[in-house]
Chain A
Amino acid sequence: MKLKGRAIFEGKAEGPALVSSSPMSFYGGVNPDTGEVVERGSDLAGQSVKGKVLVFPYGKGSTVGSYILYRLARNGVAPSAIVNAKCETIVAVGAIISEIPCVDMIDVSKIKPGVRVRVDGATLVF
């Protein structure tokens, strides 16, 4: 399948989809050293975002979350790409400063967990 969205930070990436049906908070929600999702109640709790095409509706929580994405990238445990239904400031800024390809305006319910997704600019192929 091919989906076209809007590129927030343009780039090429590929990886298995890690899909959260609920909004994600990076500050306090993801361990910046390991990439493990630690937010209580998250459907991804215990899983690692490393190398994944991370799919979730939108970001939430503290603006410090942008820096957590940066730290994940520096530690080599960042997602390979981020796909949102609607991107907001925290994730957008985080993706840009960490140079993680980021696409939004995507119907995220179409992406099944585990499926291999290729991101190229504003386009997803899987």
Chain B
Amino acid sequence: MLAGEQGNATRKAMQILVALGKIYDAERLVKVSSVQVSGVSYKNLGDAGLEFLSELAKDGKARVKTTLNPAGMSLTDWKSQGIDSGFAEKQLQVIDAYGKLGVEVTCTCTPYLAGNEPSFGQHIAWGESSAVAYANSVIGARTNREGGPSALAASLTGLTPLYGLHIRENRVPTIAVDVDTLLRFPEDFSAMGYFVGRTAKDGIPYLRGVQRASLEDLKSLSAALASSGGVAMFHVEGITPEFGLGAKNLETLTFTRKELTETGSQLNDEGVPDFVSVGCPHCSLTELATLAKLLSGHQVKREFWVCCSREVKRLGDEAGYSRLIEKSGAKFALDTCMVVAPVEELGYRVVATNSAKACHYLRNAGLKVRFMPLEECVTEATRSV
């Protein structure tokens, strides 16, 4: 592959993997069973990224199951989202290049809810920080935190260098967190993740004392840990599959009602929301069910985006949830989300959301944020101005 006999894209991909292996002292390359590629929004890629992808698409092909992160807009309904046609054209070119490369155009940050479901112990190469944390921690698959090009390189070769979280010894906790409060909603897990990520940085936190955790709780936790810090893996005592792994004499944080409340208020700016969005990470079917119930019989009074994958939306259609959600005036934002779409350019100023991760990135983009549970997001969206 390195000699170029399998084409230019494969050679480039192999050069990337060999160099990374060198840098991180990998003993060898290892086969991967699945890839999730980040670096899709034209907002982040720019023309340079688009050029690079088009170049690779000339002779590159995915060799393993490969799915795609969200784009900067809905691929079909970008006009009604207020996206300008210049941006849309470039974004569609990016998607086109990925399609030619044999990447499934899933455009979701929750590939594990849309058919890319690795199993325990498998080596994978995933980008998208929240999905990386989820795959390592909740599924027990093994991946480093890949960037766009390195994940794509793994896809085009079916290989990744064996280092970091691919090796069992590197998956042990580096910091413990004693959780001494009842966590009731995914938003509580989101706030906890945001708090812990700041201290854990790129380490592996071990959360103790959590009573129970749903898929939605763990999804929110993954996203928050990876946004305030660089966490690529965590353990939850009694819940995640590798939680017993070699934890001893760890520096310990405590997370009580006080930290929960404080973190929540730190994620609240002044101002009345003119935009409400849920689904960071993308909503599960359970969340669509909750939204359908809450929105049923109500009308939203401001822009309300429900972000999810096309796959979950399809399930929502069959279950009758989508109809109830849309009847209220809320919009499905498929293929995209409030973080990667250019929301700041659509004229909104204050965003209400139930995701600490979204708050983090929206603030970086210059927007004001209000962090609140899903139920309150619905109340906020439906109350009269």
A contact set with B: CB distance below 8 Å: 6, 8-9, 32, 62-64, 66-68, 70-71, 74, 87-90, 92-93, 96-97, 104
With A63-B147, A64-B39, A97-B52 known to touch, is A89 a contact of B47 (CB < 8 Å)? no
Interface residues of B in 12-33 (CB under 8 A from A): 12, 15-16, 19-20, 22-23
Chain B residue, CB-CB nearest to A90: B147
Task: Flag if A8 contacts B19 (CB, 8 Å).
Answer: yes
On whether the beta carbons of A71 and B23 are closer than 8 Å, the reply is no
For the complex of A and B, 7 pairs with smallest distance between CB atoms: A71-B48, A63-B147, A67-B49, A67-B48, A93-B149, A92-B19, A70-B48
Q: Quick check: B46 and A93 within 8 Å, CB to CB? A: no
Give the complex CA separation of A88 and B39 in angstroms.
18
CB-CB under 8 A from B12, the residues of chain A are: 96-97
Binary contact readout B177-199 vs A (1 if CB under 8 angstroms, 0 otherwise): 00000000000000000000000
Q: Determine if A64 and B23 form an interchain contact, defined as CB atoms under 8 angstroms apart.
A: no
Instruction: Determine the chain A residues whose CB is within 8 A of the CB of B46 once the complex forms.
Output: 32, 64, 67, 71
For residue B80, give the distance in angstroms from its CB to the closest CB of chain A.
28
Q: Is the CB of B23 within 8 A of A88?
A: yes
How far is the CB of B131 from the nearest CB of chain A, in Å? Answer: 15
B48–A9 touching, CB < 8 Å: no
Tell me whether B23 and A89 are in contact (CB under 8 A). yes
- Supply 18 further A-B pairs (C-beta < 8 A) apart from A92-B20, A93-B150: A63-B39, A66-B147, A66-B149, A67-B46, A67-B49, A67-B148, A67-B149, A68-B48, A70-B49, A71-B46, A74-B48, A88-B23, A89-B20, A96-B16, A96-B19, A97-B12, A97-B16, A97-B52
B262 interface residue, CB < 8 Å from A?
no
Q: Which of the listed residues B16, B48, B51 has the most CB atoms from chain A within 10 Å of its own CB?
A: B48
25 example contacts (A-B, Cβ-Cβ < 8 A) are as follows A9-B19, A62-B44, A63-B148, A63-B149, A64-B44, A64-B49, A66-B147, A67-B48, A67-B52, A70-B48, A70-B49, A71-B48, A74-B48, A74-B51, A87-B23, A89-B20, A89-B150, A92-B16, A92-B19, A93-B19, A93-B147, A93-B150, A96-B15, A96-B16, A104-B23
Interface residues on B, range: 20 to 34
Which of chain A's residues have a CB closer than 8 A to the CB of B210? none
- A residues near B23, Cβ cutoff 8 Å: 8, 87-89, 92, 104
B39-57 CB contact bits vs A (8 Å, 1 = yes)? 1000011111101100000
For B150, list chain A residues within 8 Å (CB): 89, 93
Nearest chain A CB to B70 CB, angstrom units = 15
Q: In this complex, what residue of A is CB-closest to B149?
A: A93
Taken residue by residue from 143 to 186, chain B's Cβ proximity to chain A (1 for < 8 Å, 0 otherwise) reads as: 00001111000000000000000000000000000000000000
Distance between B96 CB and nearest chain A CB, rounded to angstroms: 18
Q: Taking the nearest CB of chain B, how far is it from the CB of A122, in angstroms?
A: 11
In the bound complex, CA of A90 to CA of B149 (Å)? 9
Complex-state Cα separation, A104 to B19, whole angstroms: 11
Chain B residues with Cβ below 8 Å from A68 are: 48
User: Which chain A positions have C-beta within 8 A of B22?
Assistant: 6, 8
Q: Mark B226-248, 1 if CB is under 8 A from A, else 0.
A: 00000000000000000000000
Q: Which residue of A lies closest to B47 (CB)?
A: A71
In the complex, chain B residues whose CB is within 8 Å of the CB of A96: 12, 15-16, 19
Question: Given that A74-B51, A96-B12, A97-B12 are contacting pairs, would A67 and B45 also be in contact in the complex, using a CB cutoff of 8 Å?
Answer: yes
Q: Which residues of B contact A97 (CB under 8 A)?
A: 12, 16, 52, 149
Most buried by B among A62, A74, A96, A104: A96
B51 to A70, Cβ gap below 8 A? yes
| B55 CB, min distance to chain A CBs, angstroms | 9
Q: What per-residue 1/0 map shows which CB atoms of B85-121 lie under 8 Å from chain A?
A: 0000000000000000000000000000000000000
B363: shortest Cβ distance to chain A, in Å?
Answer: 16
Complex-state Cα separation, A62 to B127, whole angstroms:
13
Residue of B nearest to A32 (CB): B48
- In angstroms, Cα B150 to Cα A88, docked, is 12
A92 and B26 alpha carbons, distance in the complex (Å): 15
Of chain A, the residue at the smallest CB distance from B50 is: A67
